[in-house]
Structure 1
């Protein structure tokens, strides 16, 4: 009887964010369709731990002490450690020794690191197994890495999954990684799970909660309220549209998510005289019902390898407007699921919004294509099947 293949999955977080959710979604597919044995290592604790534990034994690396990635820059002078911190640091050291031994005893046939931030963990673990890194980052994040983390791009025997062709080209151009060492595995979604979560609130309930008129056109954004996600482009686009609002139904803008720029953006909207027309209700434990509101989705990121938010907004039939140079979103949108803009320009995005709102036929065609792509082309069974084939090939080539 052939022994089950063993895979160690490493997640940089257990948060309700794109990369961990994408890994969990893939792992569910693998568990249902491959006779593989898993273990999971989370870099640090998070709410998804319980979900990972349903699939495999799950460990947390930084159990007793801060993750160095969250501490001072490399080389910075540190103050003397108080006694309680010394004790926690010793407990963390002892925990790491035991954990490394446990994972080595697991004897994985493959180490699958979800995101590139785990380069330092790969070095610490020192596993004698083929290693795959699923690259879900671009320059903004990678510029923050220390040298140990960057070494993950310099290992001649590592293989990589990129979430888009844009990311594959970035890896080739920036780190001189050969094309054949990089497979394409984008994010995916489970439509039935997505639809079930979206049933928690009705459209009427959400319009009442957010003080949105029943006849309002809602244009949406989704994600962290920060510069990388381009929330300033979202607000500038909204103000441009509202200053010359199209005739007909009133237009409102809603961004679901939270972050450090939220108050600044609300102040900017207030100063422009459009309070209540650009709404930032904050993060939601379950954001999916709110996506039913969106008639157009704006993907305003400056840097986004393959934004999960694009699939999520498109899944309910929102045409997507995005910037060509930001990452993989343009590969989803193309010329049939919305509008791809050549330049990072709020004025151009506002013109695109007006263009879609002025043409009901084009809006409907975009909506149909966007919904179909999200629910069929990026459905987990399809993406998971192609990923599993690539993993099988990696493990087979390692044995030969």
Structure 2
């Protein structure tokens, strides 16, 4: 039986950890004779779910928690005696001694830790990096990523856009870079077609990468250019107080408080998605967002920016529109097109229901396993 250590940046209910959890559940169900160990750099809401599929779970953040005063004194004394024997070093050596066959780094945020661990292992395990990020985010989290590339034996990229970025910007060998699209565990359903208000939706944590400011600008353009059109705008996703203050100030000044709603994180976001007539992917960078898979399966058209998301790789076959990067006027005009043409909206929604239905754990899990077996 092979033993693999999967490293996750956290166990939160967000894209990359959720995809990893779905894959590990599938791996355990398929009984592929792989012993699953997981290391989290931070905790999160999905910790208990991960524990159900793993033989061993490590939480690196546990060793960073402050210890009682006397324990810190004794720890400091031990470090003075042997400067190299720090708590962190001992923790890494303990894990390295498990003699893993493969270390699997899920997201760019885990690559640095994974390479440190690989160097500590005496049996020279293979290192796989599952990359869910594009260039700006890579530069934000690991600006010296080029120093780690040669230590990675295989890359799993979640879209062609990610592959292109890794190969051209970070000099990754194309032969080591494999495409496996992200996937969702949500079942395909139908949107709610019996409501009275035309609703434009968006989703994600409210911060610069997701483009919440662009979402507001689309709504503002439509209010000024088409005052006779009645459209509701709804954003589903986590919003911290600082961002909420900024958003509410924008809505107040633009007189949009009765039109645009940021409803925060929801335990069952699909209950809101099914009310959307159109979904706006306003992200500046989004490799292959799960929300697009989920709204696509609901039969909802998607509008996104060119060069910003791997979702465009699906929309080239229909199901929505790809507009020039940051062109909120073009995006808004496509919303008006759907508003006025229900038949087009239904046609593109039906295409999405078909095209996004293939992004399942059964289809993509087998591809990830093939990557693992290849090393």
- Measured against the shorter chain, the TM-score band is 0.7 to 0.9
Q: Which residues in structure 2 correspond to 1:141-156 (within 5 Å)? A: 141-146=137-142, 151-155=147-151
Encode CA deviations 1:182-227: one digit per residue, 9 max, x unaligned.
00112111234x87xx9xxx979xxxxxxxx951111100001111
Q: Is the 8 A contact 2:63 2:88 kept in 1?
A: no
CA distance in 2, matches of 1:167, 1:26: 20
| Cα shift at 1:310 | 1.2
CA distance in 2, matches of 1:21, 1:246: 41
CA distance in 2, matches of 1:275, 1:335: 36
| Cα shift at 1:49 | 0.9
1:255 is aligned to: 235
Q: How many residues align?
A: 360
CA distance in 1, matches of 2:116, 2:149: 16
Q: Is the 8 A contact 1:65 1:89 kept in 2?
A: no
* 1:62 to 2:57 alignment: no
Q: Is the 8 A contact 2:281 2:302 kept in 1?
A: yes
Q: Which residues in structure 2 correspond to 1:188-267 (within 5 Å)? A: 188-192=183-187, 214-245=195-226, 250-257=230-237, 258-259=239-240, 260-267=242-249
Query: What RMSD over aligned residues (CA atoms) do the two structures have, in Å?
Result: 2.9
CA distance in 1, matches of 2:93, 2:102: 16
Shift in CA distance, 240/86, structure 1 to aligned 2, threshold 3 Å: farther
| Cα shift at 1:379 | 1.4
2:45 is aligned to: 47
CA distance in 2, matches of 1:311, 1:358: 25
Shift in CA distance, 277/119, structure 1 to aligned 2, threshold 3 Å: same
CA distance in 1, matches of 2:299, 2:340: 17
Shift in CA distance, 64/369, structure 1 to aligned 2, threshold 3 Å: same
Describe the SS at the equivalent of 1:228.
Answer: helix
CA distance in 1, matches of 2:245, 2:300: 27
2:129 is aligned to: 133
* 1:123 to 2:115 alignment: yes
Shift in CA distance, 141/35, structure 1 to aligned 2, threshold 3 Å: same
Q: Is the 8 A contact 1:120 1:148 kept in 2?
A: no
Q: Is the 8 A contact 1:295 1:317 kept in 2?
A: no
Describe the SS at the equivalent of 1:253.
Answer: strand
| Cα shift at 1:268 | 1.5
CA distance in 1, matches of 2:186, 2:266: 19
Describe the SS at the equivalent of 1:120.
Answer: helix
* Aligned counterpart in structure 1 of residue 176 of structure 2, from 177, 181, 192: 181
2:270 is aligned to: 288
* 1:162 to 2:157 alignment: yes
CA distance in 2, matches of 1:384, 1:285: 25
1:36 is aligned to: 34
Q: Which runs of 5+ in 1 are unaligned?
A: 68-81, 205-212, 395-400
* 1:100 to 2:120 alignment: no
| Cα shift at 1:149 | 5.5
CA distance in 2, matches of 1:191, 1:141: 27
Encode CA deviations 1:240-274: one digit per residue, 9 max, x unaligned.
123344867x3100001114433222221222222
TM-score if structure 1 supplies the norm length?
0.82
| Cα shift at 1:95 | 5.1
Q: Is the 8 A contact 2:7 2:114 kept in 1?
A: no
CA distance in 1, matches of 2:130, 2:327: 31
CA distance in 1, matches of 2:142, 2:261: 37
TM-score if structure 2 supplies the norm length?
0.87
| Cα shift at 1:371 | 1.8
| Cα shift at 1:89 | 8.2
CA distance in 2, matches of 1:338, 1:88: 62
| Cα shift at 1:105 | 3.8
CA distance in 1, matches of 2:74, 2:107: 27
